[in-house]
Structure 1
Amino acid sequence: MASSSSSSSSTQTKKIYLTAANGELFEVEEPVAMEMETVKSFFDFGNEDTTKDMILPMLNVSAEHMSAILDFYRKHLEFRKRIPPPSAEEVKAFDHAFLENKSNEQLKELIMAANFLNTKELLDFLTDATAKRIKNKSVEYVRAFFEIENDFTPEEEAKIRAENEWAFDGVDED
C-alpha cells in the first residue's frame, strides 16, 4: 500500500482512503481530503452507511497527480493554520516550486484532475499558471499548447492577421 500521508503530531486524525486510476491507494488525512469537493460531497451526501474507512475510487486521477494535489493541499492547510501566518513570499515560493518542473502537458493533466476533484483553490491556481504560460505567445504556440487544429486556410489566416495587425504586436518568441 502506497501511503501519501505525512507524519504529524496528531495520530488521531481520521483518514480517507482514495485510489488513483492505476489502483494506487492513498491514505489521506480527513482535512486534506475535504479540500476536494468530489470527496467531500460523497460524505456530505447523508448516506448513513458511509464511513471514513471506505475506499473511494478516483478513476480520473493518476497516482502522480493525486500525489501532487495532496502535497499542494497539505502545505496550503499548514499555511492556513500557522500562527503567525506565513509571508506571501513563502507561499509564492512553494507555489512556484510546485509548478517549477511541470511540463505544459502535466499542467493540463493537473487541471483536469483538479477539475474532477473539484478543488477550487488549486484549479484557480493552475488556470492562472496556464494563463501566464500563454500570455504574449503566438497563435501557433497557443494552438499547440491546447492541441487546437488550425481550421483556417492560409488565405483566411493572412486576411485576419492583416485586419488585426495590432493583436500581434509584442508577441513573445515561442
Structure 2
Amino acid sequence: MENLIEKLITLKTCDDVVFEIEPPLVKNMKALHPLVDEDGVKLSVIPLPNVSSNHMTMIMEYHRLSDDGKVKEFSVEKLDNEELKDFLLAVHYLNMEALFEFLTQAVADRIENRSVRYVREYFGIENDFTPEEEAAVREKNAWSFIGKDIEPEE
C-alpha cells in the first residue's frame, strides 16, 4: 500500500515565521520548483526573503478556497493600496500565476476610471511633463480622458 501522507515542506518567511506547507500548494509556487523534487526538499527549510507571514497566510487561504472551488470568496478589499502592492510582489516572487492574475485584476479595479494623478501616485510615478506638454497630450487624446478624472477618496 502506497504512503498516502505526503511530507510537509517547511517555508520560513522574511519575518521568521515557519509554515509547514503541503506539497500541492508548493507546486503552485513555480519559483520553488528547483528546490523541490520527487524525492523531497533539497533544503530542510526554504527561506522566503520576499514573503511575509501575512502574505503566506493569505496565499494559504487562496489555495484552500481554490481547492474548494470557492475562489470568488477570496477578497483583498481589506488591504490598503500598499498592502495589496506588497502582496502582489510576494506572489510574483513565488511565480504563482493564478493568484498573480487575480491580484493584478484587483489592482486594475482600483485604478479603473481614476485620474492620471491618482494612477501616478498609486504607482509612485513622477510627472515629467511640463504643464504645457500635459495640456497638449490631454487635448490630443481627449477621448481617452472621458470619465477618467475621478479623484481618489481622502
Question: Shorter-chain TM-score: what band?
Answer: 0.7 to 0.9
Match of 2:55 in 1: 65
Among candidates 114, 123, 141, match of residue 137 of structure 1? 114
- In structure 1, what is the Cα distance between the partners aligned to 2:65 and 2:32? 19
Match of 2:62, SS state, is helix
Contact 2:35–2:43 (Cα < 8 Å) also in 1 = no
CA-based RMSD of the aligned residues comes to: 2.1
Q: Does 1:34 pair with 2:27?
A: yes
Q: Decide whether the 8 Å contact of 1:22 with 1:62 is kept in 2.
A: yes
Tell me if structure 2 keeps the 8 A contact 1:14–1:52. no
- Partner residue of 2:66 out of 76, 90, 93: 76
2:89 to 108, 112, 118: 112
Give the 5 Å matches for 1:91-170: 91-92=71-72, 94-95=73-74, 98-170=75-147
Task: Give the TM-score normalised by the residue count of structure 1.
Answer: 0.77
- Which ranges of 4 or more aligned residues in structure 1 deviate by more than 2 Å? 11-14, 50-53
Alpha-carbon spacing, 1:107–1:114, altered in 2? closer, same or farther (3 Å): same
In the TM superposition, residue 131 of structure 1 has moved relative to its aligned partner by 1.2
1:76-111 CA distance string (max 9 Å, x none)? 1232xxxxxxxxxx542x13xx21201111111111
The amino acid of 1:39's aligned partner reads L
Specify the alignment match of 2:148 in structure 1.
Answer: 171
Deviation at 1:172, TM superposition (A): 5.2
Distance in 2 of aligned mates of 1:16 and 1:63: 15
State the number of aligned residues: 148
1:31-58 Cα distance to aligned partner (Å, 9 max, x none)? 11221111233213x8x7x537711000
